Chains A and B, each alone.
Chain A
Amino acid sequence: MSKKKELVSKIGLRLDGRRADELRRVRCKMGVFSQPDGSAYIEQGLTKVLAAVYGPHQVRGNRSKAQHDSAIVNCQFSMAVFSTSERKKRPRGDRKSSEMSIHLRQALLAAIKVELYPWSQIDIYVEVLHADGGVYPACVNAATLALIDAGIPLKEYVCACSASLANNDIPMVDISHQEEMLGGPTLTIAALPMSEKIVLMEMSQRFHIDHLPKVMAKALKGCKDIKVILDEAVRSHVEDVGCSTGWSNTSQKIKV
């Protein structure tokens, strides 16, 4: 049990060279597919996730599920066989992925204005291409981008981020797989960063109450940082799309 590996070295660097409060590199792209109504691809470090949104459309299958005052949100989480270092068949309905689906749904429901679409349904599909820690946050972030791409009204961005405690003292943000394996408990939160509302919080193990506030603050800070990055991506995407359809006034961009 004495896994006392230092996750933050004396010089203040983590194993991969980040500082405690730095996110991994985030790269994202919206509108990657033409078939769905909205789609997005996100890379957080080496964790790579694809998300696709269909809808809102008529309720398919069992019509009786349809609700008169809101849309049904349906989430589907899955992992590619090649997403981890060990190749493994991952059936769609297994416990882990259905749990993930439920968690995703809970986070996204908090932001989607479902009351605008009675008798209809929104489907969100998330596929993990590579898992390297922080899978759930990446999924939430990708799903948010895809929802925006699909033009579904949101109250605000939903962003998620993980945080943990290094050396039993220093809170650190955006936990990689390596750090998950070596370190202690990991806290994952999904939040509405502008209003600072936490919509989902999950811990891999118990935290001592003394540590919890600072780790939570760190994770929330991470969410806000991610929001800035996503926001930038959305704006530049809209500009790009706008240029090509001609209603944007980004004349400089066209020159380039």
Chain B
Amino acid sequence: MFSTRAFIKKNKVGNYLKNIREHYIRDDIFCGLESCKSCEVLDTSLTGGFNNKNNLFKFNHYIILDTNIILDQIDILEEDVFGNVIILHTVLKEVKHRSLPVYKRLMSIIENPTRHFYIFTNDHHKDTYINQEKGELINDFNDRCIRKACTWYMKHMPNEKFVLITDDRGNRNTARNEKIKTCTITDYVKNLENSKHLQDKLARKDFHTVVDSDDFYPPHLPTVDIIQGIKDGSLHQGTFRASTSNFLEASVNVDEFEEPVIVQGRAGLNRAVDGDFVAIKILSKDEWISPSDIILEDESVTEGVDEVLEKEKVLKKTQKKANAQPTGMVVGIVRRKWRQYCGILQPSNMDGLFHLFVPADRKIPKVRIETRQAEFLRTQKIIVAIDTWPRHSRYPTGHFVRALGKIGDQATENEVVLLEHDVPHSKFSEEVLSFLPKLPWTIKEGDIAARVDLRGLDICSVDPPGCTDIDDALHCREIEDDKLEVGVHIADVSHFIRPGNALDIEASNRATTVYLVNNRIDMVPVLLSSNLCSLRGGEERFAFSCVWIMDKEANILETRFHKSIIKSKKAMTYEEAQMVIDDKHQVHSIAQSLRNLNSLAKILKRGRLDKGALVLASPEVKILMDSETHDPISVEAKKLFETNSMVEEFMLLANISVAQKILKEFPECALLRRHPTPPPNNFDPLVKAGNHLGFAIKIDSGKNLAASLDEAIREDNPFLNTMLRILATRCMMQAVYFSSGMYQKDEYFHYGLAVPLYTHFTSPIRRYADIIVHRLLAVAIGADCTYPDLLDKHKSTDLCKNLNYRNRMAQYAGRASVAFNTHLFFRGKLQDEEGYVLFVKKNALQILIPKYGLECTLYISEEGKTSPFTYDEDHQTQTAGDIVLHAFDPVIVRLTLDSKNIQHEKFILQLVKPHIEGFSIAPLTEMETKHKLTEIESGKKNKKQKKS
């Protein structure tokens, strides 16, 4: 069945080791062509039904790709333009070795049967296997392997035509000599039918040919020198972090220095892009500088270099030696971390094919791209990939990948938010959907037998209005001897999502449902999230129940966990539930149980606060949308009812009970949530602010912090306490998921809630962590069986990493979405709003506007103007005449939106009250508001006309 041949390989790991590996040559590898008579056709996606049409080769042909094509032009390959592609195993291995992301993308193309890609294992085939010759470079060897496979195919199937696409000129010439049909990808794509839009997407690697321009950047060191330099300590390596405010400055975090190393200027940055792993040379100590405090923006619209040189001079002038930090310059790139970037085309009058692309992320330089559809793209948000950054070019060159939609459109901006925060948001694949239960879904006999039947209980759910993914429901009833039975019923998502299938893998990758202002990116398909798992009123649903027996003082006497079937009597909103509780005339069972729950929750909450749980605040807002136009019609702070807190208390209690149970059962691999105690210096701003106001904020323990926050109340400024709590929130660390086997017991502590153990159990529809916790708990009570990955603490640590990352990103994405919609709401509006001073800074006041949850900067000294204010650093005040502004003082400010920079809109504030002569402006009157509005709008129109 197979013949064998061993070959010898020398491997270098510190010292010379001789590694010998076997390499089996087989005779059961098939060509994969449908029309082939001699080969057994197993499953192949190459087909005679698909024809490649190209003007260069006017016959149907199969395509064989070289490695460089796949690595550089994966964007083109992802376009559905050519099929019947044979991927050689040699090529696949090299792609995997060189770039894992590209490999993954390639694999997903290969797995798609409509693309007709086939892997041919040429290196194990008896006729295409060749030995590497002595002294032959690996690249040449691989090229020879590819050509060998091509000639074999040609001999094997004389009636079919094969075309080798490669950008390697040497390979092409040799191939021609061997009578293989070959061309470059550029030629191939140009001669494709309907290729116009594709040419833009070609990566430009062949751009090195311009000779007449001078080199603009110093050369990078060759890899050998970099490795040598790092070894002997003359060079250092670290991650390159571009500055957000100064495009000519960046820092590199290097292990050898405590402070980040500063790199400055064109030569210093030397073509590194944010995120790259670079090698740097440290300058001599007398050349060290401190980080610049000026803001420099790349304002040039052409590729001219004069402007950079000008700005470099400006930067040189402001260099300071005081507080100098280690300074260095980039001498080489160890690894590029280029990804695809969102942004817009630079509005300019540049004609021709080349245009500049401005990324939304300020840390990324502009990119030079070639496009034939600039007129159209100017109105669009687009995605661009960087290909290369030659020495003579001011900007990196890249290629257009795709357009997202019109600039300023909500759909487009949502897409940008999702992409920039790496939120997986594509549609669920067919494979994923195939694991959904088939409709109509019915409850089977076996399910009833395995579960506790709670359909007779008066269970109800309380959620925000419009909520369709209801994952929790509650009940409470009196049983004998003044005891209460309280139950929390959580949607049994783990019943539907079985470990290891495509649905599970997709959900674990998404990790969380992402809520944007007018959009929800589900973690699980909508059939589950809004129907089968959602505990809707009046429908029979599977639940995972946590039931306590409590006395009237909310002491837990007994805890039970079991899977159950429930029938929620009613799905209520917080407001409805509140009304039921408050309405003394309603005495039906649900009202009774709600009242009981409410009073228990109050006791629980008091107990929790007494133990030192923190009540924190963050300005949360809700944006009301016009149901038809989907434009925001108003922005308001979220309203809270007593019932919010009621539901929250029981969810906390359930989470804590479950955490105890799973940790007891799985001491090594329970998925818990910890909230680390913040280091004391995190609290500095809070303590300082407290001191200025005359409150002593104690930070030695959570309990003392909570107590001192409670005491910080001032009659004349009721919002002050909230402000302090907002500040306190910012001092906190992020709470994270972890696997219990990886930490010491005392590190499990949840600081914010002041409980020793905590986990997430109550929202499995929108959080993947909860699904895992459900599975653990199900195993613990014997309701389900375990599987290997669940019990592997390293695997679950990897999972936690992803969960934490996705959660953070989801949070940022949510905030970005709120920010965008707030901007949208304020477009063309002019408003006076109440706000509070959050921080007092040297040249500005940080103002919080609670009504919109906005935090903006009010500049009080402009460049070139004398400010009426004097700054007192010790007391953190700004004084103008007899008016003193402290932190937390109420003010009235006027809000306008500055849309000059279309990608980065920002608010401009002007002080209205207190009135300071020569600085403040008069309050708006009704009339004026309207007047100004029209003025702005007409102004906008004028601008537009000018542009066109």
Binding site for B on A (CB under 8 A): 1-2, 10-11, 13, 15-18, 22, 24-25, 45-46, 85-86, 132, 168, 176, 178, 208, 210-211
Measured CA separation A13–B18 after assembly (Å): 25
Tell me which of A13, A24, A46, A85 contacts B124 (CB under 8 A): A13
- Apart from A22-B1, A46-B22, A210-B788, what 18 extra A-B contacts exist at CB < 8 Å? A11-B89, A11-B119, A16-B21, A17-B2, A17-B121, A18-B2, A46-B21, A85-B18, A85-B19, A85-B20, A86-B17, A132-B20, A132-B22, A168-B788, A168-B789, A176-B21, A178-B21, A210-B787
Measured CA separation A13–B129 after assembly (Å): 15
Residues of A within 8 A of B1 (CB): 22
B798 within 8 A of A: yes
Residues of B within 8 A of A1 (CB): 794-795, 797-798
Asked whether A2 lies within 8 Å of B788 as measured between CB atoms, the reply is: no
6 contacts between A and B (CB under 8 A): A13-B121, A16-B23, A18-B2, A18-B24, A24-B22, A46-B22
State whether A208 and B787 are in contact (beta carbons under 8 Å apart), knowing that A11-B119, A16-B23 are contacts in the complex.
Answer: yes
Residues of B within 8 A of A15 (CB): 21
**Binary interface encoding of chain B residues 6-27 relative to chain A, with 1 for a CB under 8 A from any of its CBs, else 0:** 1000010000011111111110
Residues of A within 8 A of B353 (CB): none
B4 within 8 A of A: yes
CB distance from B833 to the nearest CB of A (A): 50
**Binary interface encoding of chain B residues 775-806 relative to chain A, with 1 for a CB under 8 A from any of its CBs, else 0:** 00000000000111101001101100000000
Residues of B within 8 A of A13 (CB): 121, 124
State whether A17 and B25 are in contact (beta carbons under 8 Å apart), knowing that A11-B121, A132-B20 are contacts in the complex.
Answer: yes
Asked whether A16 lies within 8 Å of B22 as measured between CB atoms, the reply is: yes
Residues of A within 8 A of B2 (CB): 17-18, 22
Measured CA separation A205–B6 after assembly (Å): 30
Residues of B within 8 A of A132 (CB): 20, 22
State whether A45 and B22 are in contact (beta carbons under 8 Å apart), knowing that A17-B124, A86-B17 are contacts in the complex.
Answer: yes
Asked whether A85 lies within 8 Å of B17 as measured between CB atoms, the reply is: yes
B467 within 8 A of A: no
Measured CA separation A46–B9 after assembly (Å): 13
Measured CA separation A17–B2 after assembly (Å): 10
B107 within 8 A of A: yes
Q: Which residue of B lies closest to A82 (CB)?
A: B18
Measured CA separation A2–B794 after assembly (Å): 8
Measured CA separation A208–B789 after assembly (Å): 9
Residues of A within 8 A of B797 (CB): 1
Q: Which residue of B lies closest to A24 (CB)?
A: B22
Asked whether B798 lies within 8 Å of A208 as measured between CB atoms, the reply is: no
Measured CA separation A17–B791 after assembly (Å): 32
Q: Which residue of A lies closest to B4 (CB)?
A: A25
Q: Which of B18, B25, B788, B795 has the most CB of A within 10 A?
A: B788
Asked whether A46 lies within 8 Å of B794 as measured between CB atoms, the reply is: no
Asked whether B788 lies within 8 Å of A10 as measured between CB atoms, the reply is: no
CB distance from A28 to the nearest CB of B (A): 15
Sorted nearest first, the 10 A-B pairs with minimum C-beta distance are: A208-B788, A17-B24, A17-B124, A1-B794, A85-B17, A25-B4, A16-B22, A45-B22, A85-B19, A11-B119
Residues of A within 8 A of B789 (CB): 168
Measured CA separation A210–B107 after assembly (Å): 29
Asked whether B798 lies within 8 Å of A2 as measured between CB atoms, the reply is: yes
Residues of B within 8 A of A208 (CB): 786-788, 791
State whether A17 and B26 are in contact (beta carbons under 8 Å apart), knowing that A1-B794, A168-B788, A210-B787 are contacts in the complex.
Answer: yes
Q: Which residue of A lies closest to B96 (CB)?
A: A6
Residues of B within 8 A of A45 (CB): 22
Measured CA separation A208–B22 after assembly (Å): 30
Q: Which residue of B lies closest to A168 (CB)?
A: B788
CB distance from B111 to the nearest CB of A (A): 8
Residues of A within 8 A of B25 (CB): 17
Asked whether A10 lies within 8 Å of B107 as measured between CB atoms, the reply is: yes
Q: Which residue of B lies closest to A84 (CB)?
A: B17
Q: Which residue of A lies closest to B28 (CB)?
A: A19
Q: Which of A1, A17, A85 has the most CB of B within 10 A?
A: A17
Residues of B within 8 A of A18 (CB): 2, 24
CB distance from B583 to the nearest CB of A (A): 54
Measured CA separation A176–B24 after assembly (Å): 13
Measured CA separation A132–B19 after assembly (Å): 10
Measured CA separation A46–B24 after assembly (Å): 12
Q: Which of B6, B19, B21, B795 has the most CB of A within 10 A?
A: B21
Measured CA separation A24–B20 after assembly (Å): 14
CB distance from B526 to the nearest CB of A (A): 30
Q: Which residue of A lies closest to B18 (CB)?
A: A85
Q: Which residue of A lies closest to B17 (CB)?
A: A85
Residues of A within 8 A of B24 (CB): 16-18, 25
Measured CA separation A168–B789 after assembly (Å): 9
Asked whether A176 lies within 8 Å of B121 as measured between CB atoms, the reply is: no
Measured CA separation A178–B25 after assembly (Å): 18
Residues of B within 8 A of A86 (CB): 17
Measured CA separation A208–B794 after assembly (Å): 15
Asked whether B6 lies within 8 Å of A46 as measured between CB atoms, the reply is: yes
Q: Which residue of A lies closest to B789 (CB)?
A: A168
Asked whether A17 lies within 8 Å of B787 as measured between CB atoms, the reply is: no
CB distance from B740 to the nearest CB of A (A): 17
Measured CA separation A168–B25 after assembly (Å): 26
Measured CA separation A247–B17 after assembly (Å): 50
Residues of B within 8 A of A46 (CB): 6, 20-22
Measured CA separation A45–B7 after assembly (Å): 12
- From 871 to 924 in chain B, residues with beta carbon under 8 angstroms from any chain A beta carbon are none
**Binary interface encoding of chain B residues 96-127 relative to chain A, with 1 for a CB under 8 A from any of its CBs, else 0:** 00000000000100110000000101011000
Q: Which residue of B lies closest to A132 (CB)?
A: B20
Measured CA separation A178–B23 after assembly (Å): 12
CB distance from B501 to the nearest CB of A (A): 12
CB distance from A116 to the nearest CB of B (A): 40
Measured CA separation A178–B6 after assembly (Å): 14
Residues of A within 8 A of B124 (CB): 13, 17
Q: Which residue of B lies closest to A14 (CB)?
A: B24
Residues of A within 8 A of B26 (CB): 17
Measured CA separation A251–B856 after assembly (Å): 102
Residues of B within 8 A of A17 (CB): 2, 22-26, 121, 123-124
- From 16 to 52 in chain B, residues with beta carbon under 8 angstroms from any chain A beta carbon are 17-26
Measured CA separation A210–B789 after assembly (Å): 11
Measured CA separation A208–B107 after assembly (Å): 29
Residues of A within 8 A of B787 (CB): 208, 210
CB distance from A11 to the nearest CB of B (A): 5
CB distance from B497 to the nearest CB of A (A): 18
Residues of B within 8 A of A176 (CB): 21-22
Measured CA separation A24–B17 after assembly (Å): 23
Measured CA separation A140–B25 after assembly (Å): 28
CB distance from B22 to the nearest CB of A (A): 5
Residues of A within 8 A of B119 (CB): 10-11
CB distance from B745 to the nearest CB of A (A): 22
CB distance from A164 to the nearest CB of B (A): 14
Measured CA separation A25–B20 after assembly (Å): 15
Measured CA separation A13–B42 after assembly (Å): 15
Measured CA separation A210–B785 after assembly (Å): 10
- From 667 to 703 in chain B, residues with beta carbon under 8 angstroms from any chain A beta carbon are none
Measured CA separation A25–B6 after assembly (Å): 11
Residues of A within 8 A of B11 (CB): 85
Residues of A within 8 A of B4 (CB): 25
Asked whether A211 lies within 8 Å of B788 as measured between CB atoms, the reply is: yes
Measured CA separation A22–B22 after assembly (Å): 13
Measured CA separation A211–B119 after assembly (Å): 29
Residues of A within 8 A of B17 (CB): 85-86
Q: Which residue of A lies closest to B6 (CB)?
A: A46
Measured CA separation A45–B107 after assembly (Å): 31
Q: Which of B18, B22, B119, B797 has the most CB of A within 10 A?
A: B22
Residues of B within 8 A of A22 (CB): 1-2
CB distance from B117 to the nearest CB of A (A): 11
Measured CA separation A112–B136 after assembly (Å): 54
CB distance from B52 to the nearest CB of A (A): 23
Measured CA separation A63–B173 after assembly (Å): 80
Residues of A within 8 A of B121 (CB): 11, 13, 17
